[in-house]
Each structure stands twice: as structure tokens, then as C-alpha cells.
Chain A
Amino acid sequence: MSKSDIFANLGSIKDKDLSVERISVGKVISYADGIVFTDELQDVQAGELVTFDSGVFGLALNLEKNRVGIIVLSGLAKIKTGDFVYRTGKILSINVSDEIVGRVIDPLGQAEDGKSAIAVGKEMFLEKIAPGVIDREGVNQPLQTGVKAVDALIPIGRGQRELIIGDRNTGKSSIALASILNQKGQDVICIYVAIGQKKSTLAQFIQTLEDKGAMSYTTVVSASASEPASLQFLAPYSGQAVAEYFLEQGKDVLIVFDDLSKHAQAYREISLLLKRPSGREAYPGDVFYLHSRLLERACKLNKENGGGSITALPIIETQANDVSAYIPTNVISITDGQIYLETDLFNSGMRPAINIGLSVSRVGSAAQLKAMKQVSGSLKLDLAQFRELAAFAQFSSDLDSATKKLLERGKRVSEILKQPWDLQMSVADQVLMIFAAVNGYLDEVEVTDLADWEIDYLNFAKSSNPKLVAYLLTGAKIEGTQEEALEKLIKDFKKAHPRFYKKEV
């Protein structure tokens, strides 16, 4: 506001605007563990922001006949019994501006990275009704994660909600991180919401984002394990508010919630302290709504509404692969598919440890790039056959040559799905590799040599046929000419690199 506006406004303020008003207040009765109970605070609404005498903010969550339960959001130490609690008539919002990209903020929108405060932009509500059906359109654009196994077999589209689920230490965060790193130069804003994590883990995560140049399009919302449950509870909604700021500009956004198991636990803690009745696994009755209202806000908007999208990758940690526990089943039913990670696979060296059989993407295939779709069709078939045969082959020693051949193919096909977490593969790289594997060009290479083969072959392709690589990068359909070029490329490579082909088959 300009100075002259302020003076114009001052002139229009009447005496009665400044008279003593009768306002509703509550008084703090008890305060413990970040939860305040006050005597009745008339007309307060559920989810309303309230303030205390000391300027501390709280959120009214429980409205009962004679008392109100409030979670305190900041300055926990300053509250005393007998303090007044005031209504603000507002619901919780955070300040978001373009400048928030590249920053680390807490769930209340305050800078956490020791740099200056976020420039004033727009107030974005933490709770918002998700866009309706009329404003949306089907998922129709891919979101490349750069992870072969995901892009080929569990493709994700912009606006989709794909769950990453698995036990501790199975590479869940790594898949999300890889997806963020792969958005470099893709005009996608990324938001990483860390809930209940160790500060040291998060610091390392942010360091990686910085080292790989990903902070220039990423915002981190952090509510680490040492923060009160109230902030951990709010963190995903804050992240979503930031996402919606960019959605309104018609941008594509990728948001990661790492993880919603800890989020549910924070909410359970709050609910128990507020003395709400608890149900299964001591979670409150509305824990489904906690996540459904959050994930419903992921969307792909139609042209009339700007055409932006929010793709959500929620993460859930399971105990002993139990996907039928309460929170996992809830979130599975809310999302459009899941990437299922397993400890056994991880330990056997199959990394990323994705169980292909149990992972699905229900909407992403509509958006998958043509070339990827072409090569991944036979990939799925090869893998399914391999899984079936591998189980069967354990029992019989002498297999006919056709079966042996299928087994050998299967071994190689699943081998090439291995990928270091920090290696982003372009569409062209992925198509080159999968094409070679499913068309049997790897059958004569030792399985143990495949990782080296991949590196050399991809470099060879870039230097000897850059035109083909450029074409593949677009993801366009592979026609006869490209197919011939691909075959020639592999034959030339074989001649140039005989060390991979010692053995005659």
C-alpha cells in the first residue's frame, strides 16, 4: 500500500470504529504438551486461528460445550493459565510468493534456512476444498521420474497421486528424491515436505538437492522429529498451500510427503491429548479424512482453469511389509496406484527394490510417452514370464532350451531395471536400454557385465548417432527407420566393444 493510500484511509476512519467493543474471550484453564484447554470461547469455529495474550497463535480443533481444545503453534513456553484467548475470525494461511522457490520453510511459512523472510505475496489457506470434477481433466502428460523401472512399468502422469510404500530403509525417499532431481529443466516446481524426520537426515537431503542444482526449483517444508506434533500435523497442508500458489499460475507442481505414516502418528498424538475417542490402532475416527482431503487436492486442471497440475507422491512406511494395516490401506485406497518396495529385494541387490508384480499405476499409462509404451509392453510380458518360470525352475534341474532361454532373458531384463538412486536416466537412455533387453540383444552378454555394458552403450549411442538419440528424447513413436537405426547401433557397438562378447551362445 502506498503512503497516500494510508492517509486516505486514515481520514475515513470514524470514531465509532475505535470504540470499546464487547468481544468473546476464553481463558486458559490448562496447558500441557502443546494443547491448551480454555473455558468457552463463544462463536469460535472449528479450525479457526486464535491468539493468546502473549501473541502466540493457536488453532481451535475441539469445540465442546464448556471448553475449547486448542493446539498451540508457536512460542509454547509463553502461555500461562488465566491468559486470554481471542478469536481472529480467520483460518490458517501462510504467505507464499515466487521467492519461496529454493527456500526451506517451517509449516507456518517462516524461513528455516537462516536467510531473509519470504517476501510478501499471497495468503494461501492451509485447508482448501479440492477443485471439483468440472475444473479437472484426465491425466495426459507424463511426469518422468528418471527411474527406468517406474517410467517403464509404473508410469506417473502429471496430476496423479502415486503412493511410495515399503518398510524402513527400502529406498522410498530415494525414489522421491530421484524424481525431484529429474525435474531439472522440465519447468516443474517441486515441493518436499519432511514430516517427523531427523534433522540430520533432512540436512543431508537438502545438501543433495543443492549439490545437484535442484534447489533452484524446489521448496522444502520441514517439520522435523523435534518439532511439536501440531507443526508436523500442519506440514503437508502447508506444502499443499505452496503447491496451489503455483497451480494458480498454471504451473506443474510435484509434491512429496515424506512420510504420511509419521503424519498420522502426529495427528494421533494430538487427538489423544485432546481426549478424542480413539479407534483402530488408537487412531481417531477421522484419520481417513486427514489424508483424503489432503490428497484430493492433487489435480490436473483443464485449460479454462489454467491447465496446471499437482502431482503428489505420498510415502508410507510399513511394518514387516504389512500393507493391510490401518494407515497403509487408507492411503492405498485414496491414491491412484502404488510403488511397492521390499526389504528382501533391497537386500538381494535389486535396487530400486520395486516389487513389479504388486506395484501399479492406475492412470499414468494414459500419459506414458509413445516410445516408452512400445518397449515396455514386451518388458512387462518378459518379467511376468520370468517370475513364473523362476519359481517353477527351482524344482527342476533339467529344463528344455526354450525355458532356459526365457530364464536367461528374464534375468537380463530384470538386471537392467537396477539403477543407482542418483542416476537420472533420460527417455532416450531408458528406451535404448529396454529396447536392447527385450529384443534379445543382451542375451549374449554376461549378467554381471550389464551395468558396464549400459554405461558404454549409452555413451556410444550419443556419440555415434546423436540424431537418433535426439529423436528418442522426444518420446515419439519408434517407426521402422528408428528400429533399423537401433539395430545397427547395437551391431556397431558389438564390433567396437568385443570384450562384452567373449562367450559364444
Chain B
Amino acid sequence: MDLEEHEPSSPKMHQVLDEEGELIGEEPDIEDDTLKDMYWWMFYARKADEKALKLQRQGRMGTFAPIKGQEAAQVGASTAMKDDDWFVPAFRELGAYLQRDVALEQNYKYFMGDARGNEIPGDVNNLPIAVPVSTQIPHAVGLAWGIKRDGGGKAVLTVFGDGATSEGDFHEGLNFAGVLNVPAVFFCQNNQWAISVPFEKQTNSETIAQKAHAYGFPGVFVDGNDVLAVHEVTKKALQRAREEEVPTLIEALTYRLSMHTTADDPTRYRSEEELKEWEEKDPIKRFRIYLEKKGIWTEDWQQELEKKAEDKIKEAVDAAENIEDPDPEEMFKYMFEVLPEDLKSQMEYLKRSLREKEIEEEKVEIEGGFP
């Protein structure tokens, strides 16, 4: 598909596989090892996500945002990136993060309330999670501008949800990108819900993709549950960004099969039938059927992956749960390159008050949601 020729006002959804995992059109030019990799990361992310939900339900992890159902969108996009491209995430990114070298234990630590889970691994250009919706989008534009000034050759991929496209930062970011013409790819995981608010109440546009037209660059609508289609489109957009230093908006249509966060109860606002319908369109299942037909996926291989995932997840849980307690200094030490005297004395006060503590307060456990 050609990004420039994409119909802007009513984009057609791009697919490589149909919903039954049958190839539509030409066989994509992807090596078997890459295909296997993609499947692994999708599967591993699913398992790690399921485990996180269990941990949360057992009181061993705090609130987190499950990715179930969005594995193809995430892994399809992240596998299209190069290590020195920049990844600028929102907060529901386990699949892309794992594929981008963030160890699972880091993710678990973070959602166990430990800031050390936010440390960025060495040689991959990833930013940490951004919780305030849409706020990371302009950062991606700034990074891309920096790349451009630096002679180009790299790209930035920022991801966000359908809800994020309502915020000012989305529109300001895309407008800047169009005006400055920078190598940024804006990747919207349209999972059709922003907590309880459905797509139709978020925007009166037919698609998110078409919004790019107004900013003067291509917007592509892709089946977000088709990992091959996502991969193809993202790869082209990134290539175009690296070579021509231009932006693209991608809308990947997918579905959040789980709750918004563990504090959310989706049965309050969406129907069982809708969920069933999308469970049928499970992106992992769809990809597996394709791989099986190609002779890549076998029962034995699946067993191997199950075992590997299980071992890695167990290791990650152990590492995350057995980390030593944080030191009170950690609350202060990353505030500035050089800690001002005033903060040093606040830090000393905290340490002293913990050391000399006499009165313990009883903990009040509170019900209620914290999305």
C-alpha cells in the first residue's frame, strides 16, 4: 500500500490477513524468524499481562492497565522500529515495551509501586510511561525535530489511545509536526473505548486517521488486530520518516478485551455480545492460524513457548517481589542534578522522622477505583 495515496476523507481499513487468518493479496516479505519473533512477543505479552492481573487480584500488585487484545497493534508497530528510533509511549504498552528490551520485572516493579521499575534499559531509545493522556505527543514532535536538526536517519514513534485524540496536546502536536515536517509517526491504538466512553462519544469523525488530512500529512487506517498489516504500515511510515523526514498518523483499530484498569468494571458500560464478538477476533489466534498454514506454528513449538514464558514470568515476579525496600533518599535524589540545600534538609528530616518514629497509624483500606 502507498501511504501518500491513502484516501483521506474516508480511509479504508488496511488488512493483510482477514479475520480467519487467511491471506488477502500478496504474501508479505517478512523472514520466518521475524514472524516467529512477532508471535513470541505477542504471546509472551499476553501471558505476562494475565499474570499481572492475577497478582493484582491477590493484592501483590497495584492498579495497572491490561493490554489484552492489543498485542498485534503493539508488537506489529514496535517490531517495525529500529533500536535507535525513539519510542514515546502512553501507559498501556506492555507488548511494545517487552519487545523494546524493557525487562518484564521492570514493568512489574513499576505497577507494584516501585519507581525503580521506570529505569530505562541501556541502548534502546524508550521514554518512560506517560500517565496524563496525550501529553507525550508533543514530546515526540520535539524529539523528531531534534533528529531532523541532527541530520535525520531516525524516526520517532509515539503511541496513544482513541481518547487521547480529544486532548489539545494531540492537535497541537500533529499541527506542529505538519508545519515543521518532522520524522514522527503518530500511532493511535483505537481500542474503541476510553474507560467507559465509546468512540462515537469521543469524536464525530468517521475515523481518527482522517484527522491527519487536516494537518497536511497522510493518515492511515489499519486493522490493529492484524499484526502483519500493522507491521507493514508502520514500517513504511517509519521508513518514510527516516528518509524524507515527514510525519504520518496511523490508526490501528483494535479492542481492549480486559478492563480499563484493574479498578474498572467494564460490565457497567459495554455489552457481553460486543466483548464476545471481539474475543472471536483475537489477534493472537488470527496470527497463529496464518503461521500454522505456513508450517511455522506447531503444537510442539507452542509448548516450548509456554514453558519459556512461564519461566521468564516466574523470574520476573521473583525479581520484582524480592527487590530490597526503597531508601528514603530515592524520593529526593533525582530531583535535580545537584540537590539544593533546602531539599537536602527535607530529606534529612524524612530520614530522621522514620528512624525515630514512635506512633504507627493503623492502615485504612479503602474500596473504590483509581483509573
A binds B: no
Which residues on A are within 8 Å of B, measured CB to CB? none
Which residues on B are within 8 Å of A, measured CB to CB? none
